[in-house]
Amino acid sequence: MNDLIIGTTIFIITLVAILLDKMHRMIVALVGAVAMLVFLAGRYSQKEAFAAIDFNTIFLLLGMMILVDILKKSGIFQYLAIKFAKLGKGEPSLLIILLPILTAIMAAFMDAVTAVLLIAPITFVIVDALGLHPVPFLLAEGMAANIGGTATLVGDPPNVMIGSAAGLSFMDFVTNVGPVTVIVLLAFAISIRYLFRKELFILSELKEMVLAFDEKKAILDVKLMRKGAIVMGLVIIAFIFHDKLHLEVATIAMGGAALMFLVARANPSEVLKSLDWPTLLFFMSFFIVVGGLEKVGTIALLANGTVKITKGNPTLMSMLMLWFSAFASSMVDNIPYTATMIPLVRTLTTTSIAPLWWALSLGTCLGGNGTLIGASSNIAIAGISEKEGYPITFKTFMKYGMPLMIQSMLICTAYIYLRYLM
Amino acid sequence: MSPTLIAKDLMTKKVTTVSPEVSIKDAALKLFKMGVSSLPVVDGENHVIGIISEGDLIKMALPSYALEAGRLSFLPEYEPFERKLANADKVKIKEIMREAMTIEEDEPIIEVARLMVIKQVRSIPVVKDAKLTGMISRCDVLKEMVRRSGILGETK
């Protein structure tokens, strides 16, 4: 009983401190992890804590970060952005669909923040050259990145964590959350175009200018671009067959990183310097915090409570999971949220309710679009925009984000119900 | 063995400075006129309160995202400078100046050279009792190094 109170208290303090955002979340989680080990000394061992860290998640993220960091130096993503801009023939109402779709595709295979940081600046340049207001484009890209990340196991950290914990493969995600993500993305594109219809006019001679862009001039290193694209292609193929190959996704990502180092002859210390270590350490620390929470029995209590409230009804549990996850992750960082929910769902799914995992994935990933603080890619977008004198406030973001999030949740509700529960 | 030289021995004593209240435009004109790459910003009592360089002004004429967007050769017609510099005669230097790194008059050349390499600055304001007494540039340091090495034969 005593341990239950200690563990739960440390967890809640950690979570609140992350939410308050006064101190970097990595530092908060590290303090929380150490607190769990110190205050539960003798009951929650370091060995157990390290076993609670999901290294499949950590090494998948690390491998993909290395891959993308080397590949992006070729200029390939700017090249693609210009290609996509030209596909729309300079028509702003197509531009606002095509550039976010590119962002979504990229985010399906890399971290959403990275996708946004690659595409937003070049978008800013293009729309500024066309005399368009940049904010609609940036908002659309930020949200599209979250939608794209939902589609695959490697796209968004919650999916990586869920896949790893539930033993779900890359193709399990593609076939289960993939289809609904495509529908959500298309509905999103139509809505975005409608919402910003008044901002999308330019002079016809400017359209010519877009068509005259030479995307080849955005390439920084042709050889690296070719080699890198091949490595990335191989990695994606390996992801598709990873369960048949009996390889975990982290193994493939590390293999891809190793291959990329070999073919690009990149300097390791330079590459490693630019990786997002704070996020990786945050992950590890928070896994330790949740490991403690599970050890003291709080998770089991919550799981029993959920079963009691929903009377074990799978439809009710799935819908509750979907909508609760969406609103929770629109306010809270989705990494700690997922890390906490995974052991809970694992306890619940002993009665084999598979849609609960998909509800958790869809709710958590897409919920990030609800508010400015719901996803780190939203914050990244706001940062880029503010630097140039176009601040995106919490209120502005929510005005578009919340209805679009609810739209995507309605689509998911119908999908989960029709596919799994009927 | 030549005597140890200090910053004071190499610095240029006649320094062109700007006041923090001067506009960006006037500061730029001063840079062009004097043919220097940076200007120390000083208050009424000759305290160094900042520095402004050509690089800072070029950076100001670019939108911040342009620095993150990769190679921009595909956009020859894109010249946002006019818009970015539209307020150059209204914005004051104090709003965009950087914090200046200064160096004491008695610092040895080795330290001056180290700072120039590590901090990637072209010139450093030299101070005594917190007041500006001179500027020391990469050229000043390099000239002394070359002179010492004797590779140019006996100059001076």
Q: What is the pLDDT of residues A343-384, one digit of tens each?
A: 888 887 655 557 899 999 999 999 999 999 888 889 889 988
Top residue of A77, A79, A119, A128 to mutate, by most chain B CBs within 10 Å, is: A128
Higher pLDDT, A388 or A94: A94
Give the number of A-B residue pairs with CB atoms closer than 8 Å. Answer: 61
Closest Cα to residue A119, out of A86, A78, A151? A78
The percent helix, strand, coil of chain A (3-state, each to 5) is 80, 0, 20
- In angstroms, the CA A223 to CA A264 distance is 9
Contacts of residue A344, defined as CB under 8 A and 6 or more positions apart, other chains included, come to A299, A302, A303, A306
Closest Cα to residue A30, out of A334, A224, A289, A323? A289
Per-residue pLDDT tens over the stretch B24-69: 999 999 999 988 889 999 999 999 999 999 988 888 888 888 888 8
What is the pLDDT averaged over residues B2-21? 87
Per-residue pLDDT tens over the stretch B66-93: 888 888 888 877 778 888 888 888 889 9
pLDDT band at residue A158, thresholds of 50, 70 and 90? very high
At position B76, the amino acid (one-letter code) is P
Write the CA distances from A255 to A155, A226, A250, A275, B14, integer angstroms: 18, 18, 8, 17, 61
Q: Is the pLDDT of residue A304 over 50?
A: yes
Question: Which single residue is written with the structure tokens 């970015």?
Answer: B84
pLDDT for A288 equals 95
pLDDT for B156 equals 47
Token digits of residue A66: 């290395």
Q: Which of A78, A129, A388 sits opposite B70 (nearest CB)?
A: A78
Q: Which residues of B touch A129 (CB under 8 A)?
A: 75, 77-78
Write the CA distances from A159 to A82, A104, A346, A362, B78, integer angstroms: 30, 15, 15, 9, 41
Coil, strand or helix at B42: strand
What is the pLDDT averaged over residues A24-41? 95
pLDDT for A303 equals 82
State whether B71 and A121 contact (CB < 8 Å): no
Q: Which residues of B touch A213 (CB under 8 A)?
A: 74-75
Q: Which residues of B touch A121 (CB under 8 A)?
A: 65-70
- In angstroms, the CA A385 to CA A395 distance is 15
Q: Is the pLDDT of residue A336 over 60?
A: yes
Q: Which of B67, B71, B75 sits opposite A129 (nearest CB)?
A: B75
Nearest 5°: CA angle at B59, between B58 and B65? 135
- Answer yes or no: are the C-beta atoms of A270 and A256 closer than 8 Å: no
Contacts of residue A140, defined as CB under 8 A and 6 or more positions apart, other chains included, come to A96, A99, A100, A192, A196
pLDDT band at residue A46, thresholds of 50, 70 and 90? very high
Token digits of residue B116: 């120039």
Q: Which residues of A touch B67 (CB under 8 A)?
A: 121
Residues 68-97 of B with CB under 8 A from A: 68-75, 77-78, 80
State whether B65 and A75 contact (CB < 8 Å): no
Q: Is the CB of residue B108 less than 8 Å away from at least one CB of chain A?
A: no
State whether B71 and A78 contact (CB < 8 Å): yes
Q: Which of B69, B73, B78 sits opposite A217 (nearest CB)?
A: B73
Token digits of residue A124: 């800013």
For residue B132, give how far its alpha carbon lies from the nearest alpha carbon of chain A (Å): 33
pLDDT for B125 equals 95
For residue A75, give how far its alpha carbon lies from the nearest alpha carbon of chain B (Å): 7
- In angstroms, the CA A31 to CA A17 distance is 11
At position A146, the amino acid (one-letter code) is N
Mean pLDDT, chain A, as a whole number? Answer: 91
- In angstroms, the CA A76 to CA A66 distance is 15
State whether A213 and B74 contact (CB < 8 Å): yes
For residue A234, give how far its alpha carbon lies from the nearest alpha carbon of chain B (Å): 25
At position A11, the amino acid (one-letter code) is F
DSSP A266: -
Contacts of residue A204, defined as CB under 8 A and 6 or more positions apart, other chains included, come to none
Per-residue pLDDT tens over the stretch A214-257: 889 889 999 999 999 999 999 999 999 999 999 999 999 999 99
The residues pairing with B42 across neighbouring beta strands, listed in sequence order, are: B48
pLDDT for A210 equals 83
Q: Which residues of B touch A215 (CB under 8 A)?
A: 74
CA quadruple A127, A129, A133, A134: dihedral sign: positive
State whether A121 and B69 contact (CB < 8 Å): yes
What is the pLDDT averaged over residues A130-134? 89
Contacts of residue B28, defined as CB under 8 A and 6 or more positions apart, other chains included, come to B57, B88
At position A367, the amino acid (one-letter code) is G
For residue B122, give how far its alpha carbon lies from the nearest alpha carbon of chain A (Å): 25
- In angstroms, the CA A151 to CA A113 distance is 16
